[in-house]
Structure 1
Amino acid sequence: MKILIVSDTHKAHVSLEQVLEREKPIDMLIHLGDVEGGADYIEALADCPVHIVAGNNDYFSDLPQEEEFVVEGNHIFITHGHYYYVSMGESDLLKEAKGRDADVVMYGHTHKPSLHEEDGVTILNPGSISYPRQSGRQKTYMIMEIDASGMPEIELKYV
């Protein structure tokens, strides 16, 4: 199974369109918030199952604040991250993920990519596919591939 993970598009879909074309076919798209009204467009564009959570700029949105689901035996918890103060660190987010018994927690908000494992939980942030803030300011996204054994492999990629 091939999953495209993005965040913080902020109505700017050009890079997402390019990445979808480059990475197709994908089996699932996960968007970690700040779509700013573009959820329906993203769902139609992806042409696969889509999970989107609301970000701090998704005003008046009916998107969920967070979601939990299982993919190939992996318990995944997704959130934008602002309610867990991720701009100041990941400790609150990790505590929540562990409390939910998540294998993988995904967040956005900071516009900076991050990928590591802590206390048995894989923590990832794909950065921003539209407005990056990390050194070098390259637009980023992640691909998660899950093989037949259920083991996820995650790769940070650049637009």
Structure 2
Amino acid sequence: MRVIIISDIHDNLINLEKTLSWCKKNQIKELICCGDVVNSETLKYLAENFFNKIHLVKGNAELYKETEIEQYKNINYLNLFGVIELDNKKIGIYHKPELITKIKEQENCNLIFYGHTHQPWIKEEKETIIANPGTLGGIFFKASFALWNSKTNGLELRLLELL
């Protein structure tokens, strides 16, 4: 299964539309969002245009009300932090990087995804892959996302401009 990881949309609907269109064409089955969707309109667009499961954590710039999320049945809202399991892999999802070490030790995750810094990167520490998909909003860095293949455990970063 291929899973897209996005973060820091910051209401950039043009980039979100391009990304979700690519997801549909490429049969992406799950979406992980590491926060900073920002307003209600962007949240609605995300929920109504990605038809599969969305795992969402709260970022530090959110303006939507958490009660709005309940109307979207495809969103698995994890609040500030959550752990999900996909294809027998334990995945930690968080917005800010400050708790990565603690999460890694306490939750024993295979992968940890986070946002906030807008800087895309991947590193492996022992048995855990830690990654930031960058900013879909294209603020401070070029717009990017990560793509994870759950079968091969392959993870790659993609620039939106190269789609």
Please state which band the TM-score falls in when normalised by the shorter chain. 0.7 to 0.9
Aligned to 1:94: 101
Q: Specify every segment of 5 or more residues in structure 2 that has no aligned partner in the other structure, as ranges.
A: 67-76
Aligned to 2:92: 77
Alignment of 1:143-158 (within 5 A): 143-147=147-151, 151-158=152-159
Deviations 1:24-54 (A, max 9, x none): 3110011110011232321111111001111
Contact persistence 1:39–1:52 (CA under 8 A): no
Distance 1:74 1:125, change over 3 A: same
Q: Is 1:105 the counterpart of 2:107 in the alignment?
A: no
- Tell me how far apart the structure 2 counterparts of residues 46 and 36 of structure 1 sit (CA, whole Å): 17
Per the normalisation by structure 1, the TM-score is 0.84
Distance 1:40 1:60, change over 3 A: closer
Per the normalisation by structure 2, the TM-score is 0.82
Aligned to 2:124: 117
- Tell me how far apart the structure 2 counterparts of residues 13 and 59 of structure 1 sit (CA, whole Å): 15
- Runs of 4 or more off by more than 6 Å in structure 1? none
| 1:81 Cα deviation from its structure 2 partner | 1.2
Aligned to 1:127: 134
Q: Specify every segment of 5 or more residues in structure 1 that has no aligned partner in the other structure, as ranges.
A: 85-91
Aligned to 1:65: 80
- Tell me how far apart the structure 2 counterparts of residues 43 and 68 of structure 1 sit (CA, whole Å): 20
- Tell me how far apart the structure 1 counterparts of residues 114 and 60 of structure 2 sit (CA, whole Å): 12
Letter in 1 for 2:14: V
What is the DSSP-based 3-state SS (H/G/I as helix, E as strand, rest coil) of the residue aligned with 2:124?
A: strand
Distance 1:154 1:95, change over 3 A: same
Letter in 2 for 1:8: D
Alignment of 1:134-145 (within 5 A): 137-145=141-149
- Tell me how far apart the structure 1 counterparts of residues 64 and 86 of structure 2 sit (CA, whole Å): 29
- Tell me how far apart the structure 2 counterparts of residues 42 and 60 of structure 1 sit (CA, whole Å): 13
Q: Which is richer in helix?
A: 2
Q: How big is the alpha-carbon RMSD for the aligned residues of Structure 1 and Structure 2?
A: 1.6
- Tell me how far apart the structure 2 counterparts of residues 53 and 98 of structure 1 sit (CA, whole Å): 20
Aligned to 2:20: 20
- Tell me how far apart the structure 2 counterparts of residues 128 and 74 of structure 1 sit (CA, whole Å): 24
Letter in 1 for 2:112: V
Q: Is 1:29 the counterpart of 2:31 in the alignment?
A: yes
| 1:131 Cα deviation from its structure 2 partner | 2.6
